[in-house]
Structure 1
Amino acid sequence: MNKYCYVRYTHITRFLAIGGMAVILLGMTCFAAGGRINSSRSIPLGLYWMTDDPVVKGAYVIFCPPESSLFDEALARGYISAGFCPGDYGFMMKRVLATGNDRVDMTGKGIRINGKPLPASIPLEADKAGRAMPRYPLGTYTLGKTELLLMSDMSGTSFDSRYFGPVDFSQIKGVIRPVLTW
């Protein structure tokens, strides 16, 4: 290799290293400021921002799953990712579809909230690998004062409350607002 090529590749390598570090620093700064990226199909893909908005029906939230054998299995099967929540679970993002005192009917044909059917809420019998899906017990429930039903209203394959049931308000880390989605 001649001297010119060596100098040129050295500059390109240095440029790529500095550029990569700048991207990492920008990402860390955005995360610290409240930026979150959703890569699952439970809610629209894209960039979200943490807000101080109250947790209400229809809001998108980010939460830590409660530590349990069900979530241990979900992590092992790849339904959720590893992360920084207790139990080494990753954060999950869902939409709040029911809150305290709402009546939830969980059936094999889908979920109804206060008598209104939810789209894409039929629980799957098995995952893509043919393994039986966990299932929250079928029946009619009235959510407690601090319970939330966290679901996808756009994906029939989301791992959500139809499998793990209501989540306590204390698990919520914040409301997220879409910035750029597709």
Structure 2
Amino acid sequence: MTGHRFIVLIGASVTVILAWAVIGIAGGYRLNLTPSEPLGLWRIESLNRPVAVGDLVFVCPPSSALFVEARERGYLRRGLCAGGFAPLIKTVVALPDARVGITGEVVIDERPLPASGVRKTDGAGRAIDPWPGGIVPPGHLFLHSSFASSYDSRYFGPIPDTGLLGLAKPVLTFDP
């Protein structure tokens, strides 16, 4: 293969890959590479009703110093949300007015949340502080993943529901 043909082939390949990426993003498809939920291809489905406890959702985290630090520590990936964050895939476990307590585990309205142990350090041995607990304010969601090392509301607290993108629906996923 000549040098010119090789460059054309590479250019065409890159163009096709970029086109598929744009089509995927515009079509609501996202690739999950974090262990908080199964790895693979997911789709954002419009939510045509109020969000409910138990919904698995895509949500953009707010652009704040807490999330910038989380990205610097490697808890979050870069993406298209404000602040350059990738959307989170989490389960809604508490809505406004719910009382959330955090000790060694999460307790919502006096009921322990399964698989919600709270760690004092992250995977690199760095201290990680839990959210102190309280009432979920209006317009906010408390999010959780049963993955033990998940960065979720145990650590960042309730987040604004204005970042809600929709329901998270698996398309082609697998548990490692």
Residue 124 (1) aligns with residue 134 (2): no
Which consecutive residues of structure 1, in runs of 5 or more, have no partner in the other structure? 1-5
Letter in 1 for 2:131: Y
Structure 2 CA distance for aligned equivalents of residues 133 and 167 of structure 1: 18
User: Given the alignment, which residue of 141, 149, 172 partners 1:148?
Assistant: 141
When structure 1 is superposed on structure 2, of 39-48 and 157-166 the one drifting more is 39-48
Q: Given the two structures, how large is their TM-score scaled by the length of structure 1? A: 0.81
State the number of aligned residues: 172
Answer yes or no: is the 8 Å Cα contact 1:42–1:151 preserved in 2. Answer: no
> In structure 1, what is the Cα distance between the partners aligned to 2:5 and 2:72?
43
Q: 1:90 aligns with which of 83, 86, 89?
A: 86
- Distance in 2, matches of 1:36 and 1:83, equals 10
Deviation for aligned residue 1:135: 1.9
Q: How far did residue 178 of structure 1 move?
A: 1.5
Which residues in structure 2 correspond to 1:25-174 (within 5 Å)? 25-53=19-47, 54=49, 55-107=51-103, 109-137=104-132, 139=133, 141-153=134-146, 155-174=147-166
Partner of 1:179: 171
**1:22, distance to aligned residue in structure 2 (A):** 1.9
* Structure 1 residues 151 and 24, CA gap change in structure 2 (3 angstroms): same
> For the aligned residues, what is the CA RMSD?
2.2
Query: How far does residue 15 in structure 1 lie from its aligned partner after superposition?
Result: 4.4
Deviation at residue 10 of structure 1 after TM alignment: 6.2
1:3 is matched with none
Distance (Å, rounded) in 2 between the aligned partners of 1:80 and 1:60: 18
Q: CA deviation at 1:163?
A: 0.3
* Aligned 8 A contact 1:94 1:151 in 2: yes
Q: Give, in angstroms, the shift of residue 174 of structure 1.
A: 2.3
For residues 87 and 49 of structure 1, the distance between their equivalents in structure 2, rounded to whole angstroms, comes to 22
Distance in 1 separating the partners of 2:84 and 2:24: 23
Q: Aligned equivalents of 2:5 and 2:85: distance in 1?
A: 41
Q: Does the 8 Å CA contact 2:102/2:130 hold for their aligned counterparts?
A: no
Which structure would you say has the larger Rg? Answer: 1
Q: Percent identity?
A: 35
Structure 2 gaps of 5+ residues are none
Corresponding letter in the other structure for 1:31: I
Provide the rounded CA distance (Å) in 2 between the counterparts of 1:87 and 1:113: 30
Alpha-carbon distance between aligned partners in 2 of 1:15 and 1:176, rounded to the nearest angstrom: 36
- Measure the CA separation in 2 of the matches of 1:15 and 1:73: 40
Cα 1:103/1:73, change in 2 over 3 Å: same
